[in-house]
Structure 1
Amino acid sequence: MVLAKRLPARPTRSTWFAPARRAPLRTLQREAEACLENPVAQFLVASLDGLVLLLDRHRQVLAVNAPVQALVGASAEALLGRRPGEVFGCVHAEEGPGGCGTSRACAHCGAVLAILEGQRTGRPARSECLLMLRSGDTTQCAEFEIAVNPLRVGRHELQAVLLHDVSPTKRRDALERLFFHDIANLMQGIRGWTDLLCAGDASTPQVADKLARLTSLLDRELHSYRAMVQAEHGNLRPSLREVLPLEILQDVRDLLARHAVGGSRPVLLRAAPAGPIRTDPELLSRVMLNLALNAAEAIRPGEPVTLSVHPVGDRMRFLVHNPGEIPKDIRSQIFLRSFSTKGGSGRGLGTYAVKLFGEKVLGGKVGFTTGPAGTTFWIDLDPLPA
């Protein structure tokens, strides 16, 4: 059967989180037929507003509604037996030995947690789910509100899963939170130096220099948010020109020194290749600055942030390193748009913006490594793109 070949192969090792076992194809077909004949299941699939999936006890799809089929471009028959992350293209679904729910990252997935809670308690469960979805060679963030409800169809114990895409709302809230947080910080600095000038507690040249730096940062932040909105809508095009890698590192070092968090963290520059690269210097500097700011915020005053660049194969790798290791429970969520380690008042979009600008606009590849020796974020770029 063609469908059987579409299902992931039986795992060769145990799961990292949720059970990996899957139902045989014949069992899935029998349960799917029972769903199609049940009036309650028919009503749920046909009438609920949102994305509806009916799952068996192995978290495998038995039926989906029309919006799901339209979103993923596949028929209900083709989706039979898949798990939710495999339906929508979650990047972590391919990492687990048994597909969706079985990777290390799945331990922090709101969808998997809600489904397992519903199975354990036999009661409705609700959660939020932040996903990084892959479509071809590109990835994008998505945020869902998820409701899981138990459903009995004959002798079959099923679950009705309802997802509402709240990505536009989350995107707006995250941008507003970040915008007002950063602008308020810059305005506080401008007001502070203005008060010193009015009180006569500082020299005019000193204040003029500080105000010029702060207003330059303010203008840069405003351009950054405008560019982020354009990039999310696919309307931002890079302005390519040749630039020396060392110039990018020096620009980021100078910009970081103007930020309050960067002033007490020394910035080290490593030797850079002498030859030029062809890129958008402003966007690349913005990517590296976001990484440098995140690095500075993650360490104690006096600890260094190290900027470097070196060739990796036929690409050029720009790196930002800081002491300290990222906790295991947040590594898989680093590049999600609405995820933040800093609570309600934090920045929350630094690494997401890096992914957005670095991959979607500059055509690079973004990643990180972390361990006892420290944390390094990097972006690989084609040095001479067409």
Structure 2
Amino acid sequence: MNTKQRLTSREPFEKVLKSKVEISRIEYISDILSSMSSIVCILNDKNQIVFLNDTLLERYNIDLEEQVLGVRPGEMFNCVNAKNSTGGCGTTEKCEYCGAKRAFDRAWEEKEKVIHECKITSQKEEEVFQLDLEVTATPIQFDKEYLIVSINDITEQKRKVLLERIFFHDIMNIAGSLSGVLELLPVLEQKEKEEYLGIAGSLTEQIIDEIKGQQQMIKAESGELIPNYQMIEIEALLKKLADQIRCHNVSLERGIDLINQARLDKIYSDQTLLIRVLINMVKNAMEAIPKGDRIVLKAKDTDDYLRFSVHNDTFIPHDIQMQIFQRSYSTKGDNRGVGTYSMKLLGEKYLEGSVGFTSTEKEGTTFFIDLPTNKLATVS
């Protein structure tokens, strides 16, 4: 049975329940699985859960028969991609890049144990959060073929390592630039000294901004971040962003054009968080273009929202588009992977906006955040 055939249909609940009863009769199986600290489930050949140890049930107060039996693992974790009309977990285009699905597919095909890490965007009611899981799938034969799947939640471990790597990587880069500027000062003419002191000041501000940004991300992920809303002048904000990025190493021999087409003069939002979102968009755009090219930072409003957008002429390959906004996913190496994730987290959860992107070979790539303008009515 190939993957497509495996996922196009499901066994009825009566058959799932029968499988559970038959497995539970196997001597010591319940005791062995219950002794494990990780989540362990057994899947039938449709990737449906037919047996589960107590770890998940106790941790989340879940009812086995009503909420778990017969569902697929992504549905158990409330994966946003599993909430679709095409057949649920494993059936969407984005599912093709899921580590759990890859583990299941390989285990079925190769009849051997497979381990994969899996990133899930989980949504329960209005709460959206990222999960990092280590999934081990092992084929086993009882009355028929099954997969024993062990799931370890490594979210906190991955989050901590990622944020620390990125923080120290960026701080070292900026500190290195600052050190280079200060070393030059003694041999410069007075006029040049004033210019380089200004650059040193900007680099110092960047270090402070990185520290603040790290604090913001820690608070944001723990739900402790409290936005500080205020009136922000749109034109001044665009110029501030341009000034900040010109002193950053990603802008070396690259340019930025500002276009303000907004009819509004001001927007009511949190300036620090909004700058953080837009700086990440600008840095990503700068890193994507060759030296000599330019990006466009634009503000434009409609009757309902103000859109800030950042455009460059490059195209994001389709497989990468499918995974953007996942924490720790990056094409730039181990020290990256939080930029697009933080855009989404800060922009939507704390600024109450909508963050997205478009990318085509003809038009290039545009990241944007749409901020509701109805908040202005409450403060004007």
What SS does structure 2 have at the residue aligned with 1:131? strand
Q: Report the residue type matching 2:230 in the other structure.
A: R
Q: Which residue of 1 is the match for residue 157 of structure 2?
A: 169
**Alpha-carbon contact 1:335-1:355 (below 8 Å) kept:** yes
- TM alignment of 1:103-252, pairs within 5 A: 103-153=92-142, 155-200=143-188, 203-252=192-241
Q: State percent identity of aligned pairs.
A: 33
Distance 1:15 1:323 in 2: 37
**Alpha-carbon contact 1:309-1:319 (below 8 Å) kept:** yes
Distance 2:290 2:102 in 1: 34
Q: Which residue of 1 is the match for residue 283 of structure 2?
A: 293
Q: Indicate how the Cα distance of structure 1 residues 17 and 185 shifts in structure 2: closer, same or farther if over 3 A, else same.
A: farther
Q: Which residue of 2 is the match for residue 376 of structure 1?
A: 366
Q: Which of 68, 71, 74 is equivalent to 2:56?
A: 68
What SS does structure 2 have at the residue aligned with 1:343? coil
- TM alignment of 1:313-332, pairs within 5 A: 314-332=304-322
Distance 2:32 2:227 in 1: 46
CA deviation profile, 1:133-165 (whole Å, cap 9, x unmatched): 112123211101111122222x22111111111
Q: Which of 319, 323, 326 is equivalent to 1:333?
A: 323
Q: Which residue of 2 is the match for residue 5 of structure 1?
A: none
CA deviation profile, 1:84-119 (whole Å, cap 9, x unmatched): 111101111124712111111111111000011111
**Alpha-carbon contact 2:40-2:148 (below 8 Å) kept:** yes
- How far apart are 1:384 and its partner, in Å? 4.4
**Alpha-carbon contact 1:89-1:135 (below 8 Å) kept:** yes
Distance 1:62 1:142 in 2: 23
- TM alignment of 1:6-45, pairs within 5 A: 19-45=7-33
TM-score by length of 1: 0.90
Q: Which residue of 2 is the match for residue 361 of structure 1?
A: 350
- How far apart are 1:336 and its partner, in Å? 1.4
**Alpha-carbon contact 1:125-1:148 (below 8 Å) kept:** yes
Q: Report the residue type matching 1:365 in the other structure.
A: S
Report the number of matched residues.
Answer: 371
- How far apart are 1:382 and its partner, in Å? 2.0
Q: Unaligned regions of 5+ residues in structure 1, if any?
A: 1-13
- How far apart are 1:273 and its partner, in Å? 2.6
Bigger drift between 23-32 and 307-316 goes to 307-316
Q: Which of 301, 305, 329 is equivalent to 2:295?
A: 305
Distance 1:231 1:366 in 2: 16
Q: Report the residue type matching 2:148 in the other structure.
A: A
- How far apart are 1:59 and its partner, in Å? 0.3
Q: Unaligned regions of 5+ residues in structure 2, if any?
A: none
**Alpha-carbon contact 1:358-1:366 (below 8 Å) kept:** yes
**Alpha-carbon contact 2:43-2:149 (below 8 Å) kept:** yes
Q: Report the residue type matching 1:307 in the other structure.
A: L
Distance 2:370 2:39 in 1: 36
Distance 1:296 1:93 in 2: 34
**Alpha-carbon contact 2:112-2:138 (below 8 Å) kept:** yes
CA deviation profile, 1:183-231 (whole Å, cap 9, x unmatched): 1111111111111113447732122111111101111111111111111
What SS does structure 1 have at the residue aligned with 2:251? coil
Bigger drift between 304-313 and 101-110 goes to 304-313
Q: Report the residue type matching 1:306 in the other structure.
A: V
**Alpha-carbon contact 1:15-1:96 (below 8 Å) kept:** no
Distance 1:353 1:44 in 2: 41
**Alpha-carbon contact 1:96-1:102 (below 8 Å) kept:** no
Distance 2:154 2:102 in 1: 19
CA deviation profile, 1:20-55 (whole Å, cap 9, x unmatched): 221222221211211222235313431211112211
- How far apart are 1:131 and its partner, in Å? 1.3
- How far apart are 1:66 and its partner, in Å? 2.6
- How far apart are 1:249 and its partner, in Å? 2.1
Distance 1:295 1:70 in 2: 45
- How far apart are 1:58 and its partner, in Å? 0.6
Distance 1:289 1:17 in 2: 45
Q: Which residue of 2 is the match for residue 52 of structure 1?
A: 40
RMSD: 2.1
